[in-house]
Amino acid sequence: MSASQSNRQPGLHSEYYGIGPLDEFPIHQLPQPMAWAGSSDRNFYDRCYWNAFDRSGDVMLISSLGFYPNLGTKDAFMLVRRGDVQTAVHLSDAADPNGADRMAQQVGGYRIEVIEPLRKLRLVLEETEGMAMDLTWEGSGPVIQELPHVMRQGTGTTLNAQRFAQLGSWEGTIVVDGDEIAVTPDQWMGSRDRSWGIRPVGEAVPAGRPADPEWQGMWWLYVPIRFDDFNVCLIIQETPDGFRTVNDCTRVFRDGRVEQLGWPHVAIHYTPGTRVPTGATITATTPDGKPFVLEVESLLGVPLHLGGGYGGDSDWAHGVWNGPGFTERRTYDVTSDEHKGKVTFGVIDHVGRATATGTGADGIEGWGLFEHGALGRHDPSGFKDWFDLA
């Protein structure tokens, strides 16, 4: 008997009943069952994201699990790039209406085990379509609570989310077609985030009145970097004219101290003829008014719109109903004629190697995520329209 069947009582209307295992805990925020999202917006979501890479830049893994209570769905994916090829496994299923699976955090053979909240977790994919992983995450410092993230288009809100991030290390194994990759914490690291709120998910819906003005694109930069004594997390979003709708840069020390790093100035270094970055120079300011500079280099890039479900991915979209127990595998050669033209027009997650100089940092080396996308027009970058290149 399933959790939803065991919790359902005779005589209750299924469309109103929602009490489940989560309601045994004193964590309620609204006068309603925990299984019901606080917003009735169809686009409500609760999702986690992970990346893992070794310092050679030869391999990068991206993974995610999400719940979409108002769509009745849940899904997960594992995406691995080695060399010029990235391989994705997608899983989706119906979500338990009473929320029992949100405690278990499982979709098919994919599951997340919380060993120590905000510190240590285990990420598992049982062998699925030739792919598997068993990885344990350990945070290298406190989680970083980011500023609320809101996006509006025309008269509507397209994104209203809260997120926290963390840097850390990995241990375990990754398997691709029988090739087992050993993951050791001295060489493997990464970042993760958990976010929840409202963002476009599921099947496309009628647009209604066209946005006025129409959407002309966005410029996005997300850089969480781990150093020996502290972690840095930067998140910037700009409209086509360069106006910043998100501007957040913090340094978190191992003892929990949080230092804001002012208004960062960014120079992205693009590969000529593309919008694919090779790195960036980020100049921020410490509270005492002194410069803090990050030189970031890309060692390997994973386009999130090729199998990751982000930014107009033609193969996979988060929250879509694919039927019960759905799994599939997709493989992409990012240098092929079929895919190389798509790479430059989306958000790419890079293995980032950084050098920091300034107060509390004298040329020290750090590692983390260098995530960037320049979509559409962006005046400060000199991009005049969707197809203009560096």
How high is the pLDDT of residue 37? 92
How high is the pLDDT of residue 1? 37
Q: Who contacts 59 (Cβ-Cβ below 8 Å, separation ≥6)? A: 53, 80, 81, 82, 174, 181, 300
Mean pLDDT of 123-151: 95
- Which pLDDT band holds residue 255 (cuts at 50, 70, 90)? confident
How high is the pLDDT of residue 15? 53
Output the pTM of the full model: 0.93
Mean pLDDT of 338-366: 93
> Tens of pLDDT along 26-51?
989 999 998 889 999 999 999 999 99
> Tens of pLDDT along 62-93?
999 999 999 999 999 999 999 999 999 999 99
**Is residue 242 over pLDDT 90?**
yes
Residue type, 56: S
Q: 104 and 49 in contact (C-beta within 8 Å)? A: no
> Worst-scoring range by mean pLDDT, 18-22, 68-72, 115-119, 363-367?
18-22
Rg of the chain over Cα atoms, rounded to whole angstroms, equals 21
Pairing of the two strands 188-198 and 44-54: antiparallel
How high is the pLDDT of residue 16? 55
Mean pLDDT of 306-333: 95
Q: What are 330-334's contacts with CB under 8 Å, separation 24+?
A: 330/87, 330/88, 330/90, 331/85, 331/86, 331/87, 331/88, 332/85, 332/86, 332/87, 332/88, 332/306, 332/307, 333/84, 333/85, 334/81, 334/84, 334/85, 334/86, 334/303, 334/306
What residue segments make up the domains of the chain, in order of their start?
44-202+215-381
Pick the CATH number of 44-202+215-381 from 1.10.10.10, 2.40.370.10, 3.40.50.1400, 3.30.70.890: 2.40.370.10
Q: 328 and 90 in contact (C-beta within 8 Å)? A: yes
Distance CA 163, CA 110 (A): 22
